[in-house]
Amino acid sequence: MGYESKVYIVTKSGSGWLDGGKRYGNIVGTFDLCKMAHDSAYHALMNKSKPTDCCIYETDGNTKIVEDRYGAPLKEMSLPDLIEALQKDNDGYRRIPPLIAMVSAIVNDPGWGMDDVVALHFGY
């Protein structure tokens, strides 16, 4: 049993706090994992992760997202932790290798400041 999961890779704004104490998260990439099992390493990481202090906007540019469709706050994961969890789950599910490749490319590029780049979990 699982539920639909989407991962947003975002850079956190250094300033520009919004209403509700959240800062702006600029979406770098979005990846739809679809159905991940509840007993996956990804969900274990997501469940122990802290709620994020940033919000993102839907593609319409006006709809602020601070929680997922289940009403749970967006959870924040470091990119290295996300890669580690996905590598544990890589048992042939076709969506995992491209996400690992995307996140690894960001982690391995010295142009990204890892303190400001995080992965957000969105359940739907």
When pLDDT is averaged across residues 116-123 and rounded to a whole number, the result is 94
User: Is pLDDT above 50 for 49?
Assistant: yes
- The pTM score is 0.91
Structural domain containing residue 110: 2-123
> pLDDT tens across 17-37, in order?
666 778 889 999 999 999 888
> pLDDT tens across 78-96, in order?
999 999 999 999 888 899 9
Amino acid at 20: G
User: Is pLDDT above 70 for 2?
Assistant: no
Q: Return the number of other C-beta atoms located less than 10 Å from residue 52's C-beta.
A: 23
When pLDDT is averaged across residues 45-58 and rounded to a whole number, the result is 94
Helices (H), the chain: 41-48, 79-89, 96-108
Q: 16 — alpha (psi -120 to 50), left (phi > 0) or beta? A: left
Number of structural domains the chain divides into: 1
